[in-house]
Structures are given as structure tokens and as C-alpha cells.
Structure 1
Amino acid sequence: MNLSGIVQTLETINIRPDEIQDEQLSETFRILLQLIEELSGHVEKLKAENQKLRDEISLMKGEQPKPNIKPSGKKPNVDISSEEERKPKNTPKNKKPKTKKDKIKIDRVEVCEVDKGILPDDAEFKGYQSVVVQEIVIKTDNVEYKKEIYYSQSQKKTYIGKTPSEIEGEFGPGVKSTVLTLKHVANVSEPKIHEFMDNFDIHIAPSTISRIITKNNKLFHQEKSDIFKAGLLSTGYQQMDDTSSRVHGQNHYAQIVCNPYYTAYFTTPRKDRLTILDILRGDPSGESRSYCFNEGNYSPTHPDGMNGSPLSAS
């Protein structure tokens, strides 16, 4: 029997030494109860120490020690008297979560009217029942731009109207963004992208799809550069690591730069000091690397005019 069991047993006996009229008997019961409490505590300590030694022996034998099973996490029943205490507190757990309908953008609203011919004479209008239906429309929006042409006889010059600035080539930004989304978000292969476009009467060559994916990506590189620079400024420290990788059959290194707010990846052919500095400057290719040549690098006695100290890169 453990200590809690002994306490419960003594409580059921309901011995109250203070209520015993015989002082000698009352003192005897008091001493016995104290002795039982001390001995019970001593026994509990010996049990814990004994179990600890058993666990150490089990580990030495390669066995598992006794598992530490924690008691149930249920809260004890508490008598709450007032109505205010029984009400749940306005905690985040009790807040009503947002439904899917709250996240849906409504593009248009249509009213479904009731056939007035089936309504009785006493029917009254009581409002609307809202039902949200999600739909997506994929259709062509082919535009023929008629560019005006003017010719000046006096200046011997022809003036032609310009297409909108977002139009480059034969395909608009919608087609290009769809190709990039299918490739990089949905992981669709280029032949399947071509098949998708052909199903919607977009006549585009496979080579054009490849060029959209691989060429003219300066905007994305600039966006990555801006994110990387913001990440560097977000904390006073950065963590870096590298791992080997292969690019066109050649050994390269995948450089990882991160902190709790972002992670950026770069692939470089080397992992020396100058490469790390180039990455931290946001120029992993080292194209904008410059060198500082000063008096510390110049020696008139050296055959090449150099004193052997390395140039400092910036």
C-alpha cells in the first residue's frame, strides 16, 4: 500500500486524538500516527531508490527500464457556484473558426426568383437564402490589335500605333502565366502543357512553351534577390550550409542560407571564401565582384610589383 492508500485508510477509520478524553491514550495515538506517516514516507523513498537501481540493472542487461507513465491530464471536478464562472471564457479555442465561405471571393451575384404563378395570395417576401457555388472559366481571349499607321510626306516618316506594354510577342501574359503555373506549381510536363493549350485552341509550339519557361525570367530572379536581401536584414545572424550537387555532369555545391524567417538556395561551382562573400552580397555568380588594389598590395622590390598579400574583394 502506498502513502496515499494509507492516508485514505486512516481517514476511513476517523481517529481524532484531540477528541479522546484520556490524555495518555490521545498522546499515544498522536505518536503512532506520526510514526506511520514517517515510516510511509521512508518506504516510498526506498521504493523509488529500489526502482532506480532496477532500471540501471535493466539498462546494463540491454533491457528497457520501467516506463514512466504519467497520470491522466483530466482536470478534477470543480464546483463552480456562479453562473459567470460556468460560462466558457473567450479564448482562441472557443472562438468560432472561419468557414470556407468566408474565404471565397464573390465575383458576381445572381437572384433566383420564385415563379410568381405558383405563389398563393398571402405569400410575403422574407429575404434570400444564400448559396455560394464555386466555378472556374477557362476560355480564350484572343485579341486582334489594329495598329494605326500614319505617314508624313513632309518628314518622310511612318507612325504606327503601339500595343499595350504587357504584350510581348504573339502570346499575352495570361498564356505565359498559365504555362509557368502549370510547370512550377502543378509540376506538369511540357508535352502535357502543349496538350492543355491545344484543347483550348491556343496554337502554340512546344519550343515556345520551352522558351517561356526558361527565358526572360529576370523578374523572378529580381524577386528572389529582393526576398534574400530582406531576409538578410531580418535578423543579426545567418546560418549557412552546403551540400554537393551535380550540374550538367559537373560537381557543384548547393548553398543554403537561412534564418527563422526565410531560406534561400544557391548553386555554385565552388565553396571558397570569395564564393560565400558573393552569395551574401546577393551575387552568387560573382559577376559584379570587384577588387581593391592599394599600397598594401604593391611592392617595388617584387618582380611583379606584388608583395604576395591577397587582393581584397568587395
Structure 2
Amino acid sequence: MVLDDLDVSRITDPEARRVLGVLLQLVESQAAQIALLKAENQRLRDENNRLKGEQGKPTILPNKRREAVDHSSEQERRAPPQAWQKAAKLPHIRIDRTEDRRLDRGSLPEDAQFKGYAEVVVQDLALRTDTVTTRKRVPGCERWYSPGLQESYQAPLPDGYHGQFGPGVAALALYLCYQANMSQAKLLELFGSVGLSMSAGHLATLLTEQPELAAEYDAIGRAALASSSYQHLDETPTRVAGVEEHCHVLDSPLATVYRTTPGKDRQAAIDVLRLGGLRCFQFNLHAWAYLAEVPLSAATRASLVAWPQGVDLDEATFIGLLAAHLPKLGEQQRRQILDAAAIGAYRAQQEVPVVETLVVDDAPQWKGITADRALCWVHEGRHYKKLDPCLAPHRQLLDDFRRDFWDYYRELAAYREHASASEAARLSLAFDSLFRRVTGYAALDERIAKTRAKKAALLRVLDHPELPLHNNPAELGARRRVRKRDASFGARSPAGIRAWDCCQTITATAQKLGVNVLHYLQDRLSGAHQLPALADLIAQRATESRSLIDSAAA
């Protein structure tokens, strides 16, 4: 463009510089508006053609694949990588058998001398069936009959064996389905290729009905909440029986917990933090603190004050009170009152540990649930990367600001390692300096003002250096669900989505704790229980971590 070489700073007349700045903003605004109108115009043309029985503009894919729009800020966030060094691999390989290989002496020259052995490690895998028959003759399950009692007795199968398939098959199926994201059709194909005969219905039952793993899932959730003062939280869509629901990912340093709910509002988030307990509502100080920020009439507040205070009410009772005492309440205010009472009940309950701080993005449903909320800097940085100025001077302003944004982020990361009151005060002032900047590019200045309004939540780390600066762990957990969703499209029933939540929680948590996922599943399904439960490992490592922190503080 002609304006790409324009340098406003070289214009000496301040009034001319101001007028030119206004004109440049107008160009940016018009360019954005034209792009929106072109898209809207094409949509209306397509709709008009459809109403006339014709077809809209066809989508013709280019021969060359178009690059995906990348709003990731990982490259700017991360420090320059260190030189890569290949790690030793052999010490971590389990040797199953040793075999000596000898040369045919006749094939060697006469002067060949023996120089010892060369150690060669070769890894291989054997997939085979291990089918056990239990016939009337030995080997089999003994059967006895008591004529007097008219009752039969039969020797039980080994631990972990139920029905036609043993724990090895079940563990492998669960691993491949929930850790390797293999579809059920491909699982059946694999089992058939190694000689295992299994119906699609039996495989579906095997993948969804594991009561012992369901108990582990509940225990992991409780241990995860107790293990840390903060939790990451994010959500991603998941289809259940063709209906869109929402998978919430609750992540901490030692566990990742999945829980799918029909909605993604504030009450759904509270349901997740309560690990699926029955909804209840309570008016108390926490509820009134939330309502202080809500525009309610004096008459409505007076009515709510007369309701039972400090007492849990079930959902039906609370909704009945709303209908009886505030029948003309608007939908938005009704929802805000429900949210306030749900927050009050959650913060007062003692059934599960109450989370002190949520590390989240700036979605509104996370606000007010916990005592503190720490916002994700990476998510905030994406807002700036989505800006797309058409003029070169504005692009340069944006690039300069984004560079300063990530420089400040790295200063916060360094503060977490060496926190001090003086450095916290300096960083707070540096935040004000950075986000009070006026660049002259209107879209960027509006975005900067929005970030400035979030100062308290973005700088929560200054008071609590243990808090992370981003919500990447929960987003990575959500990505695991997305990959599963891409392979299997969605669960077909409520039992199916519970199995997804349960097994993905176990596999993700085991991986985070450094536990071999396949070995753990085999241990649990076989009834051996030689490996410690994941919930016990979480509690143990959380205790060890607190001890280290206390020792460092002392």
C-alpha cells in the first residue's frame, strides 16, 4: 500500500500529525467494516439463491493447502531453547531374555581372533491370545453337587476374570481406547487379527462398565482438590447421544480430572468443583458478597433477606421460593440469585475441599466462584495476536507492544522463582506503565485498556508466587478430550460419557504421576493391587511438596 512507507513521527506539525492519525484510524475502521460487509453480503446472496431453489457460492478448495490461522503465543512466551542433547535410552529398557549369537567358525579366515562379545539390544513385541478353557475335565473349574442340600459348587475363576475375557484384554482395550484414542471399530479389527473373538456389544460393555475404576475416579477427584490451593479449569464441547454437552477439565500439578455436564455456566462449574454432588443453595456472607456486584432493586434485596440464612436448600425448594416470593423476576436476575446462592453453598460446604484460587481464562462463568481468580497471561496475549491492522505503521505499533508484553511476562516468570516485596512493587508499577500506554492505534489502545482493567486478576502471582501464569495445563487436558472426540465422535449414552470422564481421568493422572498407564490398568483389573492407588500417590506427593516448601521457608 502507498501508506506502508508513511512515518507519522516525522511530521513536525502537531495538528497535522493529529489529523493524520485520525485519518489512519478511519482507514483501519473502514477496512474492517468492508471485510465484515463482504462476508455478510455473500451470506445473504447464498441465502437468496437457496430460497430461489438455487445453490450458493460453491466452496472450492485451493490446490495448495491454506495455512491455518495461528493465534498461539507459545513462541513469544517461551525462553530461547537450550541446545538439545540425546538422552541415554538403554538404562530404561527392561531386558526380558538374553541370547548369545555365535558365528560359524568355518566362515571366518584362519587368522581371525576372538575379541569378546558386542552387546546388542533388540526390542520386539509379541501379540498373541492366551485363551483358557474351563471344561469338565482337568484343567478346568471343579464342580461338586450336594444331594442333601440340592446345591452345586464350582471352583471360582482367578481374580480379575469375569465372563469370557480376562483382565489383560480389558486393560489393553481401555488403554488403546482412552490413552491411544483408538476407535471401537479399530479395536475389534485389532483383536480379530490376533485371533480374539469379541462382539461389538461386548466391547462396548467392557469399555463402559468398570465399577472399580469408577471408585478410583471419585477418589482421584477428592485427592486432587485436597492436593493444591489452586486449580486450573477449562471446558470444551463434547457430544453425548448427539446432544452437545461440555467437558470441564479440572487440573492441578498432580492430577487431571474430567467431568462432563449439560451446560457450561457458573452453576455447572460449581457442580464440577463439588465433584457432581447434588446442587444446593445457601444465603450467607459469600452469597451476599456476590450479590453486592449485581444490580437488584431494594425490594428484591429486602425479600431475599427474609429467606432462611445459613441453611442449605435443595434445588426444588430454592426454585419454589423464587417462584412464590419473586414471580416477576427477570431471567437474568433470577440466574444471578441462583448463582449467588450456589456460590454460598459451595464455599460453606465441607464434603469436598474448597478451592481457594481458580486459574482460568477471562470467560465470565468463572468469576466469583472462589475467593481468588488468577487470569491466564497466554490467553490474554492471544487477544493481541488476533488484531490485524492493515496499515504498516499500526502493524509496527502492535509488534512493538507485543514484544514489551512478553518481556513483562518473562519478568513475572522470573519473579516466581525469586519473589520479594520490593520486586512485587516494581512489577506492579511496571504493569501500570505498560498498560497505560497510548499508541494511537485505536484497536490496540482499546485492547490495552481492557487488559488494564484486569490488573488484580493478572497480578495475583505477586501475592502468591506459587500460582502459575497461564492455564496451559487445563488447555492441554482439553486437547486430550478433543483428540478422543475426533477419533470417536462422541459418547452414545450417559454411561458412555461417564466412562470417558473416568478413564481419561485415570490415564491422564497416571501419566502426570509417572505411572505406567497400561501396568496400572492391568494391576487394578486383575485385582492384584500391587501398585499404590493414584489417589494415595497424589496425597503422598502433595504432603512431600508442602514439607519442601515449609523447609525452604524456615
TM-score normalized by structure 2? 0.33
1:279 to 267, 272, 279: 272
Q: Map residues 13-162 of structure 1 onto 2, 5 A cutoff.
A: 53-54=9-10, 60=21, 97-118=86-107, 124-145=113-134, 146-152=140-146, 157-162=151-156
- RMSD of aligned residue pairs (Cα, Å): 4.1
Post-superposition shift, 1:291? 9.3
Alignment partner, residue 236 of structure 1: 229
1:194 to 188, 195, 198: 188
Alignment partner, residue 258 of structure 1: 251
Tell me the percent identity. Answer: 33
Q: Distance in 2 between matches of 1:104 and 1:62?
A: 64
Q: Map residues 141-220 of structure 1 onto 2, 5 A cutoff.
A: 141-145=130-134, 146-152=140-146, 157-214=151-208, 216-220=209-213
1:204–1:263: structure 2 CA closer, same or farther, 3 Å change rule?
closer
1:149–1:182: structure 2 CA closer, same or farther, 3 Å change rule?
same
Deviations 1:239-261 (A, max 9, x none): 44556765445564443433455
Q: Distance in 1 between matches of 2:182 and 2:232?
A: 33
Q: Distance in 1 between matches of 2:103 and 2:196?
A: 41
Deviations 1:25-75 (A, max 9, x none): xxxxxxxxxxxxxxxxxxxxxxxxxx9954997994869xxxxxxxxxxxx
Post-superposition shift, 1:169? 0.3
Give the SS at the match of 1:223. Answer: helix
Post-superposition shift, 1:217? 2.8
Question: Which runs of 5 or more structure 1 residues have no equivalent in the other structure?
Answer: 1-50, 64-92, 293-306
Post-superposition shift, 1:178? 2.6
Post-superposition shift, 1:132? 1.7
Amino acid at match of 2:97: R
Deviations 1:209-237 (A, max 9, x none): 111122x2333333333333333233223
Q: Distance in 1 between matches of 2:97 and 2:226?
A: 43
Post-superposition shift, 1:270? 5.2
Q: Distance in 2 between matches of 1:157 and 1:291?
A: 54
**Which of the two has greater helix per residue?**
2
1:241–1:111: structure 2 CA closer, same or farther, 3 Å change rule?
closer
Question: Which runs of 5 or more structure 2 residues have no equivalent in the other structure?
Answer: 1-6, 26-81, 135-139, 283-305, 313-344, 350-554
1:176–1:129: structure 2 CA closer, same or farther, 3 Å change rule?
same
Post-superposition shift, 1:128? 0.8
Q: Distance in 2 between matches of 1:55 and 1:249?
A: 61
1:99–1:266: structure 2 CA closer, same or farther, 3 Å change rule?
same
1:243–1:98: structure 2 CA closer, same or farther, 3 Å change rule?
closer
Deviations 1:254-298 (A, max 9, x none): 43433455443322235677655543333x1x35x7899xxxxxx
Post-superposition shift, 1:95? 10
Amino acid at match of 1:132: V
1:186–1:117: structure 2 CA closer, same or farther, 3 Å change rule?
same
1:55–1:252: structure 2 CA closer, same or farther, 3 Å change rule?
farther
Alignment partner, residue 267 of structure 1: 260
Q: Distance in 1 between matches of 2:200 and 2:266?
A: 42
1:244–1:182: structure 2 CA closer, same or farther, 3 Å change rule?
closer
Post-superposition shift, 1:202? 1.2
Give the SS at the match of 2:260. Answer: strand
Post-superposition shift, 1:161? 1.2
Alignment partner, residue 300 of structure 1: none
Deviations 1:92-132 (A, max 9, x none): x7996423334332211110012244567775543211122
